[in-house]
Amino acid sequence: MPKRIAVLVSGGGTNLQALIDAQDRGELANGEIAAVLSSTPNAYALERARLAGIPGFSFPKSQYPTAQALTAALVDKLRELRIDLVVLAGFMTILTRELFQAYENAVINIHPSLIPSFCGKGCYGLHVHEKALEYGVKVSGATVHFVTEECDAGPIILQKAVEVQPEDTPEILQRRIMEQCEWKLLPQAVALFCQDRLAVEGRIVTILPPKTQAM
Ligand code: GAR
């Protein structure tokens, strides 16, 4: 049975698109994008889901009194949809422990820096690249990690680096990191999860070799 994937989004959804494209190329081995859940009703990501024929659901942040209430509503929906893997792809709301309890080592996030640099509360989207340029780093990149209660601190699955160029603006660096890192790493990590090739022990994630097919 393919693993049922839910992608949680808030904005443009280019990482969602990378997952949809990978699925269309047959690269999400044993995985199927079953739903897209957005914290923003007018997110373009929902339009991408519609165009791909994937059910989309909106959970406007403003309709929930607390992050806990929003998380509880999301978990109910994820259970109803029989989701196996939750992917945070540009999801800009911090969720509470109810999600990680329901989906232990089954929630993954993409972050646009080399964690543990330029991450944590308030460090998201373009801000990450502004901070990296202000600091003067010569390389930056992206990280896919399991999500735990501590923001951006869960076990790292994959990372990839790019060089920072002297003339970079936050927007230029963001685009390079998306193209060269994020849109490749996220589908790879999802495919590994769906093939049961990620073993987690404490902070360490080991990538297991592919299972050999029975003849
Ligand atoms: C991506 O760069 C993603 O890594 C980042 O937001 C962008 C969303 O773009 N996520 C975070 O900063 C999470 N802390 P997208 O909607 O086009 O995928």
Architecture of the 110-209 domain: 3-Layer(aba) Sandwich (3.40)
Q: Evaluate: CB of 56 within 6 angstroms of ligand 1.
A: no
Q: Evaluate: CB of 170 within 6 angstroms of ligand 1.
A: no
pLDDT tens per residue across span 50-83: 999 999 999 999 999 999 999 999 999 999 999 9
Backbone angles phi, psi at 161, to 5 degrees: -110, 155
Q: Evaluate: CB of 155 within 6 angstroms of ligand 1.
A: no
Cα-to-centroid distance, 212 and ligand 1 (Å):
35
pLDDT level of residue 212 (50, 70, 90 thresholds): confident
pLDDT level of residue 213 (50, 70, 90 thresholds): low
Alpha-carbon gap, residue 84 to 30, rounded angstroms: 12
Partners of 144 in the beta sheet? Answer: 110, 158
Q: Evaluate: CB of 182 within 6 angstroms of ligand 1.
A: yes
Asked if domains 1-103 and 110-209 share a fold, the reply is: yes
Closest CA to 81 of 149, 24, 3, 196: 3
> Using CA positions, which residue lies closest to atom 7 of ligand 1?
90
Q: Is 129 part of the annotated catalytic residue set?
A: no
Assess whether pLDDT exceeds 70 at residue 151: yes
Contact 114, 160 (CB under 8 A): no
Calculate mean pLDDT across residues 86-107. Answer: 95
Evaluate if pTM is beyond 0.95: yes
Domain residues of the chain, as ranges?
1-103, 110-209
Calculate mean pLDDT across residues 94-102. Answer: 93
Fold (topology level) of 1-103: Rossmann fold (3.40.50)
CA 82 to chain CA mean position, Å:
19
pLDDT level of residue 140 (50, 70, 90 thresholds): very high
Question: Ligand 1 pocket: which of 7, 178, 181 to mutate (most atoms <8 Å of CB)?
Answer: 178
pLDDT tens per residue across span 10-34: 999 999 999 999 999 999 989 999 9
What string of DSSP letters covers the chain?
A: -PEEEEEEESS--HHHHHHHHHHHTT-STTEEEEEEEESSTT-HHHHHHHHTT--EEE--GGGSSSHHHHHHHHHHHHHHTT-SEEEESS--S---HHHHHHTTT-EEEEESS-TTSS-STT--THHHHHHHHHHT-SEEEEEEEE--SSTT-SPEEEEEEEEPPTT--HHHHHHHHIIIIIHHHHHHHHHHHHTT-EEEETTEEEEPPPPPPP-
Q: State the average pLDDT for the chain.
A: 96
Assess whether pLDDT exceeds 70 at residue 215: no
Assess whether pLDDT exceeds 70 at residue 129: yes
The whole-number pLDDT of residue 65 equals 96
> Using CA positions, which residue lies closest to atom 8 of ligand 1?
90
